[in-house]
């Protein structure tokens, strides 16, 4: 049985799966249900200072696929609207009841040193294992100068991180916003400010849909709508990229990573770990399927590790980073050709349609007594693999490497580029 224990910022957890700061971690009742289900830790929903928070109704908009499956949620909920002292008292109670589980206290304040430090001290005194600085919320709070309004300015990221580090002796996680052009800038600022770890990504600024009857964005509040924070499986590709950038860049070495963004299955979890994540946070999947999804996450990750011979998470953490390179470092001479297994083909024609209409006209159709047969024209196929992605039958279309005898050549050394530069 694989060992799922992990360590991040010096904090040891029974498994890498924590619930992110969100509605599922808003109170003692929810958190204890999560721990009973098997979650390794939680980040308590973000705590703030006066004036009190007032939330609206409704709060969620959704983005669905064609089969009505939810692939993303847009929320306009703010930080905790429960009294600070009630939250702190409940944190103390849960810590006593579940001594082997992790609680991180999330916090947010205006850009005033005294406010950050006073709140951080109160949260630390409740017994949390660490503090997460919410510098990512892209709605409601940012209009008040908090959340992503701070996270988008590296100088403010550094300052707030340093302010908290000055007054607490527990690990500090700086939560980064994805609503920026270069995630490395706030990550470097967090490191300069003394962060032990970064948590990313927070939600992506978005409008998920428009109610065409009300003519207003959803969720709609008394006929009006606004932008919100987008999360769920749809943001996973953005999160993977940003986690990898921090993990593989020299200037951000020394930062542990708490990865967030669309983690729904054990495979999602394994991908983030392979790109350098020390631990993981989950929210949307729990909101859609309930806390018992942790059973699938733990079992699936354990089975994967057993199958691969990984005894611990550290055995494969960051293993994909050496193969994560800049575009200019890819092999320009590598060649693939699509191959279609007509025995598996159901003759839907999707491969032909997408190649004919939007790619390179490399698939032809021949009608035989047995039906339609699809053939790839190797001379026209560029190995883009669009046909493979749209094919509904597993392994019907494969991408086969071509042994062309050419050496590994990156773009800077490619003959066409060398000639262009010389000219």
Catalytic residues: 137
Chain position carrying tokens 């057993």: 306
Q: Are 221 and 139 in contact (CB under 8 A)?
A: no
Close Cβ partners of 380 (under 8 Å, ≥ 6 residues apart): 360, 361, 362
Looking at residue 147, what DSSP letter applies?
T
DSSP, residue by residue, 323-381: G---GGGS-TT--EEEEE-TTT-----HHHHHHHHHS---EEEEEETTEEEEEE-TTT-
Whole-angstrom distance, CA of residue 153 vs CA of residue 39: 33
Gap between the Cα atoms of 166 and 118, Å rounded: 11
Given its phi and psi angles, is residue 254 left (phi above 0), alpha (psi -120 to 50 degrees) or beta?
left
DSSP string, 65-90: -TTS-EEEEEE---S--S-HHHHHHH
Cα–Cα distance between 258 and 111 in angstroms, integer?
A: 24
| CA–CA distance, 35 with 19 (Å, rounded to integer) | 10
By CB atoms closer than 10 A (0-12, 13-18, 19+), residue 389 is exposed
From the list 336, 341, 346, 338, the residue with the least C-alpha distance to 392 is 346
Residue 421 main-chain phi, psi, to 5 deg: -65, -40
> Residues with Cβ < 8 Å from 271, sequence gap 6 or more?
240, 320
How much of the chain is in helix, strand and coil states, percent to nearest 5?
Answer: 35, 20, 40
Cα distances (Å, whole numbers) of residue 332 to 93, 328, 338, 416, 417: 59, 9, 18, 11, 11
């Amino acid at each position: 049985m694989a060992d799922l224990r992990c360590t991040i910022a010096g904090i040891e957890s029974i498994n890498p799966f924590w619930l992110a700061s969100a509605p599922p971690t808003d109170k003692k009742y929810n958190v204890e249900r999560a721990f009973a289900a098997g979650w390794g830790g939680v980040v308590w929903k973000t705590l703030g200072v006066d004036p009190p928070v007032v939330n609206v109704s409704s709060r969620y908009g959704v983005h669905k696929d064609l089969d009505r499956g939810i692939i993303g949620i847009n929320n306009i909920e703010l930080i905790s609207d429960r009294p600070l002292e009630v939250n702190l008292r409940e944190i103390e109670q849960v810590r006593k009841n579940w001594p082997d589980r992790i609680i991180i206290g999330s916090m947010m304040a205006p850009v005033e040193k005294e406010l950050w430090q006073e709140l951080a001290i109160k949260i630390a005194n409740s017994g949390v294992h660490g503090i997460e600085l919410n510098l990512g919320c892209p709605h409601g709070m940012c209009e008040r100068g908090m959340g992503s309004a701070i996270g988008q300015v590296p100088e403010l990221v550094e300052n707030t991180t340093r302010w908290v580090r000055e007054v607490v002796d527990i690990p500090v996680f700086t939560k980064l916003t994805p609503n920026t052009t270069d995630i490395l800038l706030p990550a470097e600022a967090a490191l300069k400010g003394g962060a032990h770890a970064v948590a990313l990504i927070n939600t992506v600024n978005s409008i998920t849909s428009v109610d065409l009857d009300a003519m207003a964005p959803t969720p709609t509040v008394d006929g009006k709508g606004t932008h919100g924070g987008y999360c769920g499986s749809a943001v996973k590709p953005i999160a993977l990229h940003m986690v990898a950038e921090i993990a593989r860049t020299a200037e951000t070495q020394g930062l542990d990573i708490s990865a967030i963004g669309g983690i729904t299955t054990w495979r999602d979890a394994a991908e983030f770990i392979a790109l350098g994540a020390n631990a993981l946070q989950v929210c949307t999947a729990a909101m859609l399927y309930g806390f018992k999804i942790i059973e699938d996450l733990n079992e699936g990750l354990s089975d994967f590790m057993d199958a691969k011979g990984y005894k611990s998470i550290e055995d494969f953490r960051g293993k994909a980073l050496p193969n994560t390179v800049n575009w200019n470092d890819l092999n320009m001479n590598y060649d693939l050709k699509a191959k279609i297994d007509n025995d598996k083909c159901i003759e839907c024609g999707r491969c032909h349609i997408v190649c004919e209409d939007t790619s390179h006209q490399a698939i032809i159709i021949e009608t035989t007594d047995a039906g339609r047969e699809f053939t790839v024209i190797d001379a026209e196929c560029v190995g883009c693999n669009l046909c493979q992605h749209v094919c509904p039958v597993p392994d019907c279309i494969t991408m086969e490497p071509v042994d062309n005898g050419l050496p590994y050549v990156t773009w800077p050394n490619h003959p066409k580029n060398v000639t262009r530069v010389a000219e």
